[in-house]
Chain A
Amino acid sequence: MLKKKHYLALGVVVLAVLLIFSLPQRATSRLKLAVSSIFLPVFGLLNTAQQLPVAAADTVMPRSALLKKVGELENENQQLRIQMMQAAANAQENDQLRVQLGWQRQAPWKLKLAAVVMRDPANWWRTVEIDLGSRDGVRENLPVLTPDGLVGRVLSVGLTRSQVVLLGDPYCRVSALVENPAHDIGVISPGGPLDTSLVALTYLSGNAVLKPGQDVVTSGEGGVYPRGIPIGQVVDSQTVEFGLYTEARVKLSANLGALDQVWVLFP
């Protein structure tokens, strides 16, 4: 049967929750960061433990294997330098043409590498936490990508860590462009809770003609993501809402299920 202390516990817990719910957004974010910082030493410990086998493997790696690797990397480096020279020449030509047309100059991308330290424990969100924070210059809404394609955007920022909301989460909608002759534009929306590699491309015009395998990139509209970041490829499409608009399934280029390192894109 209920005793006095049961009523007291019930009252205290409900009051505490109501108090937290009624806090302003800024205070809640700070409280959340303070609570999550309790886990920092444990995550540091885990990181150290994960590095130990790598360090042990490094010490026993034979010299010949290392030299072979260095040779491969030098070759790759030379190829990339040549490509960079070509890209620089193209960028210069692009800038000149933009000046002649009176368009705004495009700034080169600045990227910072971040390690993914944890995933959202709840099944109904798709977020990860990275080890860059406000002291590294990270701000809210900065795009996050891998060499394969777009991953998401920064949702909230702490001093040393940030939360990144991934493509497929209800709070990560991206204006996307299909690389077909019509350059159809739609919005990347959640696909489903199970398959992290598929998202929906919605609000395409009703007469859009999409073919499987067509590339989907960011359109640059909306002001968060620069134009041209690869998102994925069209899998299939169908008209919905009695032909009002077309919806497509897009297979993401980046593997969101196995993110270890990501790049934060600074404007």
Chain B
Amino acid sequence: MNLLNPILILAAAFLVVFGEAAFPLLRHWFGAQVDLLPGLMVYAALNADIVTVSLLAALGGLWFDALSANPLGVSVLPLFAIGFVIHVQRELILRELPFAQFILGAVASALAPVLSVLLLLTGGREPLLGWGSLWQWLVMTAGGAVATPIMFEFFNWCRLSLGYQLRTETSFRLDREIRRGKL
């Protein structure tokens, strides 16, 4: 079993959460922090097994909530719901196309915060919401959409650089060589 892909995905999730907490540059420029976990979940759902998807949802969500004022576990279910649906339908998705990756990234990045806020409101919490939240939601959606194809490219490059190379086989085989006689 090749563990490189799951390890890379989980390491990326760790760094993504850390980066979102430590570098608030996008928040200064656009008034909202872009969440890259939904885009990462799109990649995992299309290229990894259900165990990796579950691990990414659980660990990514827990890490995000631990650094945030969210109640612990709130981000896990939205991430898992997105990953689960894409993973189940992945045979029908043209995953190699950057446009498909862009659209999936946009949908995932738009859905994840909405589901999280719905869970928070259901739990009786009062998140900071207003008309400005609409702008933040658009920034998160656009940011996630742009980042998703880039993530696909990055992981493909990592897989090619660090993983086993595909063995190219020729159709020539000695035991199947047709020897022609003089006639």
Given A121-B67, A168-B128, A194-B31: A13 and B72 within 8 A (CB)? no
Would B126 and A193 count as touching, CB distance under 8 A? no
Docked-complex contact B127 and A125, CB < 8 angstroms: yes
**A118 touching B140 by the CB < 8 A rule?**
no
Central interface residue in A31, A123, A127, A129, by most chain B CB within 10 Å: A123
Residues 148 to 171 of chain A near chain B (Cβ within 8 Å): 155, 163, 165, 168-171
Provided the pairs A12-B54, A124-B127 are in contact, do residues A119 and B24 lie with their beta carbons within 8 angstroms?
Answer: yes
Q: How many inter-chain residue pairs (CB < 8 Å) link A and B?
A: 141
Most chain-B CB neighbours within 10 Å: which of A5, A17, A46, A163?
A17
Q: How far is the CB of B29 from chain A (nearest CB, A)?
A: 11
- Establish whether residues A32 and B72, one from each chain, have CB atoms under 8 Å apart when the complex forms: yes
CA distance in complex: A43, B69 (Å): 18
A39: chain B residues at CB < 8 Å are 17-18, 21, 63, 66-67
Question: Which chain A residues in 1-35 approach chain B with CB under 8 Å?
Answer: 1-2, 5-6, 9-10, 12-14, 16-17, 20-21, 28, 31-33, 35
Indicate if B120 sits at the interface (CB-CB under 8 A).
yes
Q: Min CB distance, B66 to chain A, in Å? A: 4
Is the Cβ of A120 less than 8 Å from the Cβ of B67?
Answer: yes
Provide the bound-state CA to CA distance between A10 and B83, in Å. 11
Query: With the chains together, A117 CA to B123 CA distance in Å?
Result: 29
Q: Are B76 and A121 within 8 A (Cβ)?
A: no
Considering only CB atoms and an 8 Å cut-off, how many residues of chain A contact the other chain?
49
Report whether B69 and A193 are in contact in the complex, using a CB–CB cutoff of 8 Å.
Answer: no
> How many angstroms between the C-alpha atoms of A170 and B69 in the bound complex?
11
CB proximity of B49 to chain A, nearest CB, Å? 8
**Is the pair B88, A165 in contact by a Cβ cutoff of 8 Å?**
no
A123 with B32: CB separation less than 8 A: yes
- A75 smallest CB distance to B (angstroms): 35
Residue contact B69 to A127, C-beta cutoff 8 Å: yes
Residue A52 at the chain B interface, CB threshold 8 Å: no
Contact: B130 with A192, CB < 8 Å?
yes
Q: Is the CB of A124 within 8 A of B117?
A: yes
Contacts of B70 in A (CB 8 A): 122, 125
Q: CA separation between A14 and B119, bound complex, in Å?
A: 14
23 A-B pairs (CB sep. < 8 Å)? A6-B50, A9-B51, A9-B54, A13-B54, A13-B77, A13-B80, A35-B65, A35-B66, A35-B72, A121-B17, A121-B21, A124-B117, A125-B68, A125-B70, A168-B128, A169-B69, A192-B131, A193-B128, A193-B133, A194-B132, A194-B135, A195-B132, A257-B28
Nearest first, the 3 closest Cβ-Cβ pairs linking A and B are: A194-B132, A124-B127, A35-B66
Interface residues in chain B, defined as those with a beta carbon under 8 Å from any beta carbon in chain A: 14, 17-18, 20-22, 24, 27-28, 31-33, 35, 50-51, 53-54, 57-58, 62-73, 76-77, 80, 84, 87-88, 113, 116-117, 120, 123, 126-133, 135-136, 140
Interface of A toward B, CB cutoff 8 Å: 1-2, 5-6, 9-10, 12-14, 16-17, 20-21, 28, 31-33, 35-36, 38-39, 42-43, 46, 117-127, 129, 155, 163, 165, 168-171, 190, 192-195, 257
Beyond known contacts A36-B66, A122-B64: 9 more, CB 8 A cutoff = A9-B51, A9-B84, A10-B84, A39-B21, A39-B63, A121-B35, A121-B64, A124-B129, A171-B69
